């Protein structure tokens, strides 16, 4: 019997490599917000060419990580209180629905994968791993839930929001100790609700997770005592 040949992994283009290194530099804070990208400096530091640099910057501009300033170049977008609040509001709405769909549509194998990712996040909070590893593990957990919803449009939307939220998470983790118990409890609740195919519990657990992240980053400034705005934005499922 002939051996099946494994497909050859696709090589990344020079533009993709440039996009990844510049984006990583922005998310990690290596390229500061409010600063202009020096084309010569960035190209020397990361070893990328002029055309890949500009194509990567255009892509990052589309993702709202860079702004184009005529005759000056590319500016790293600053993070305002309003933009952070709006990102969390969008996440609460999108990921609440996503969690409900995931609880209905996820397979047993999906549930096992989600619990594996949840344990991976907990192990990072319990060790001395870098903030970058914890942020990536958390993002992958949420993307896993999104894939379980089996809706490509929702996955596309939430992927963009999660990538922009990563930048906030890096800043938060560098200044605040990781709350290991909070992350363990919140992710465990999401995974268990999806495994039990309980859409209401999954939605509530997901909202609790995101709301805790909002509190960690924004503090209590954006919350009314009874979270009234949250209930208005997120009606109870019928």
State the average pLDDT over residues 129-156: 88
- The Cα 27–Cα 33 span in angstroms is 10
pLDDT at 184 over 60: yes
- The Cα 67–Cα 55 span in angstroms is 14
State the average pLDDT over residues 138-148: 94
Instruction: Select from 86, 60, 87 the least CA-distant residue to 75.
Output: 60
pLDDT at 203 over 80: yes
DSSP 66: E
pLDDT at 3 over 90: no
Domains annotated on the chain, with CATH: 14-76 (1.10.10.10), 81-233 (1.20.120.530)
Predicted model pTM: 0.70
C-alpha distances in angstroms, 226 versus 90, 91, 208?
A: 20, 20, 14
The DSSP element (H or E) to which 69 belongs, if any, is strand 66-69
pLDDT in tens, 63-92: 888 999 998 889 998 877 888 889 999 999
The DSSP element (H or E) to which 67 belongs, if any, is strand 66-69
The DSSP element (H or E) to which 74 belongs, if any, is strand 73-76
As to burial, measured by CB atoms within 10 angstroms (0-12 exposed, 13-18 middle, 19+ buried), residue 59 is middle
Query: Does residue 12 or residue 11 have the better pLDDT?
Result: 12
pLDDT in tens, 99-123: 999 999 999 999 999 999 888 776 6
The winner for highest mean pLDDT among 94-103, 106-115, 181-190, 225-234 is: 94-103
Instruction: Retrieve residue 229's tokens.
Output: 């705005």
pLDDT at 156 over 90: yes
The DSSP element (H or E) to which 142 belongs, if any, is helix 131-148
Please report which confidence band the pLDDT of residue 172 belongs to, taking 50, 70 and 90 as the band edges: low
Q: How many Cβ atoms are within 10 Å of 27's Cβ, its own excluded?
A: 21
**pLDDT, position 202:** 97
- The Cα 192–Cα 195 span in angstroms is 5
């Amino acid at each position: 019997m002939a051996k099946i040949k494994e497909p050859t992994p696709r090589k990344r283009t020079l533009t993709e490599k440039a996009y990844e290194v510049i984006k990583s530099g922005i998310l990690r804070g290596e390229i500061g917000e409010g600063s202009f990208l020096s084309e010569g400096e960035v190209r020397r530091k990361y070893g990328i060419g002029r055309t890949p640099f500009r194509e990567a910057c255009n892509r990052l501009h589309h993702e709202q990580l860079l702004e184009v300033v005529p005759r000056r170049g590319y500016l790293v977008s600053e993070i305002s209180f309003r933009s952070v609040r709006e990102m969390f509001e969008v996440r609460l709405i999108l990921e609440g629905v996503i969690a409900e769909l995931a609880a209905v549509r996820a397979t047993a194998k999906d549930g096992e994968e989600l619990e594996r990712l949840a344990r991976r996040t907990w192990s990072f909070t319990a060790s001395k791993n870098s903030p970058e590893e914890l942020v990536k593990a958390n993002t992958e957990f949420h993307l896993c839930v999104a894939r379980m919803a089996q809706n490509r449009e929702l996955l596309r939307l939430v992927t963009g929001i999660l990538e922009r939220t990563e930048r906030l998470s890096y800043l938060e983790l560098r200044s605040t100790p990781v709350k290991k118990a909070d992350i363990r409890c919140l992710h465990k609740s999401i995974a268990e609700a999806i495994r039990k195919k309980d859409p209401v519990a999954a939605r509530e657990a997901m909202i609790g997770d995101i709301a805790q992240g909002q509190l960690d980053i924004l503090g209590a400034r954006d919350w009314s005592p009874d979270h009234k705005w949250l209930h208005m934005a997120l009606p109870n499922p019928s």
